[in-house]
Amino acid sequence: MNSIILTTLNARYSHTSIGLRYLFANLKELQDEASIIEFTINDNIQDIAEQLLAKKPHIIGIGVYIWNVMQVSELVHTIKKVSPKTIIILGGAEVSYDPMRVNMDMADYIIRGEGELAFHTLCKSISNGEYPSERMIDAGTVSLDDIELPYRYYNDEDVQNRYIYVEASRGCPFSCEFCLSSMDNRVRNLFVDRLLEEFEILWQRGVRNFKFIDRTFNLNPKISNQILDFFLCKDEDYFAHFEVIPDHFPASIQERIKQFKPASLQLEIGIQTLNNEVATRIHRKLNVEKIKENITFLEHETHAHMHLDLIVGLPGENLESFGEGLNQLCSLTDAEIQIGILKNLSGTSLSRHNESYGMVYSDIPPYDIIKTADLSFEDIQKMKRFARFWNLYKNSGNFKLSIALLWSEGTIFENFFAFSLWIYEQTNSTWQISLDRLAKLLFTYLAEVDLLQRQHIADCLTQDLMKIEGRVLPSFLRPYAPSIPKTPKNKVSGHNKRQLRHL
């Protein structure tokens, strides 16, 4: 039995919690009494409570985030009803800032901020029979030189089947009002030699996917280059994901990025808006010309898989402005463009725009914008569906040739917006639509609404769908195929399967 259990509910099985492993790594003399157990948000809450309480823990520490806060609230309620003497300690972004919009009154303690040292101190006091009177514990930030790193606590199952999250720094120098990272505007770097030693241990254990959670990986070229060199000297296939700032790619970083093989490097690039007035309003630094220059470089001179972010609902931005930004990005790159809906996270300063720009948000996680002075509730609903269908068709890589037929005339935003409205009329849903049905919907729209030549549409769809090993040509396309094409031997699997579909 373990007297301390660290747990959370991840969004998916393939995800892991680096936060839990940091806490475990820094439990010092209490580590032998502790264990990590992870669940997903789709697991039954009472089943989770049963599994946790079966180990008869004295303390349960739970990581709380925007994607699991509702489930954690229910879990805390269940545990305390069944076992009132079990001490529950919460931590994580969703309980670190005011207002706390989901009731967590039944939790015994809440640690706000970086909890590696505070959690150990609290557990030690409780283990000694000393129960602090203060329920809310402000941990603030830690010195990264004073904490143990978490990477040895990824287990063999994690190594084989799940993403391995890592970091080289914490904090962000920018002050974008929609982002919690703006709360810590001082960048703190981990000692890179120490970090690379841990990465080598992970590599020797078989880790081939490294997902960096740094907000500004390319901010310090000296450190970035050492980490990029770590991967470039490896001969085996791997997948490395970095979140980078779009206007800072010095020559030394460019030269290294050029050397990465296809499907080995993914760059998440936060654009959010290309409207300078909107960007200035939310304190987002925006150098549009430099962004265009760097994206063009990445698109034409590297094999990096780009994942660009745009946000719907920023104060003062309407559909026309958003569409112009999307069209600009699409003119520069064929990369994934992730379309997100603005969220009003506790701790940020977005609410200062509420009156001036008619910003109305849901108070239920994930705190999405509901309407603005420039976007009606119906507009935002339409854009949520636009984003979902964009992800299924454009970002998935499943329709590389055929989706481009949509915008043979006119702008990309205008044409895909019309397409997304039509799809929803046919399906009344944005979920659980099979690949074959997605293909048939696209075929029907191109043939019956855009009046394109059916054989040409079918040829493009056949090439798209049959590029992956094991797929079967949908029945509606068979009359257009003189013979059933064979799929090539390029089965897509692993953590970079989405990137491989784009090749």
What CATH class does 163-375 carry? alpha beta
Residue 490, judged by CB atoms within 10 A of its CB (0-12, 13-18, 19+), counts as exposed
Report the pLDDT value the prediction gives residue 2, as an integer from 0 to 100.
Answer: 77
Helices (H), 177-318: 192-204, 221-232, 251-257, 276-281, 288-301
What whole-number distance in Å separates Cα of residue 103 and Cα of residue 84? 17
Residue 471, judged by CB atoms within 10 A of its CB (0-12, 13-18, 19+), counts as middle
What whole-number distance in Å separates Cα of residue 64 and Cα of residue 136? 15
Helix, strand, or coil (residue 276): helix
What whole-number distance in Å separates Cα of residue 216 and Cα of residue 195? 17
Residue 481, judged by CB atoms within 10 A of its CB (0-12, 13-18, 19+), counts as middle
Helix, strand, or coil (residue 34): strand
Report the pLDDT value the prediction gives residue 485, as an integer from 0 to 100.
Answer: 72
Q: Check whether the bond before 488 is cis (ω within 30° of 0).
A: no
CA 92 to chain centre: 16
User: Would you say 176 and 89 are in contact if contact means Cβ atoms under 8 Å apart?
Assistant: no
Between 1 and 436, the more confident residue is 436
* Per-residue pLDDT band at 189 (split at 50, 70, 90): very high
Report the pLDDT value the prediction gives residue 17, as an integer from 0 to 100.
Answer: 98
Q: Quick: pLDDT tens for 219-261.
A: 999 999 999 999 999 999 999 999 999 989 999 999 999 999 9
Homologous superfamily of 4-144: Cobalamin-binding domain (3.40.50.280)
Helix, strand, or coil (residue 23): helix
Residue type, 148: E
What ranges do the domains of the chain cover? Answer: 4-144, 163-375, 396-503
Q: Quick: pLDDT tens for 200-212.
A: 999 999 999 999 9
Bridge partners of 336, per DSSP, are 307
What whole-number distance in Å separates Cα of residue 77 and Cα of residue 84? 10
Q: Quick: pLDDT tens for 374-410.
A: 999 999 999 999 999 999 999 999 999 999 999 988 9
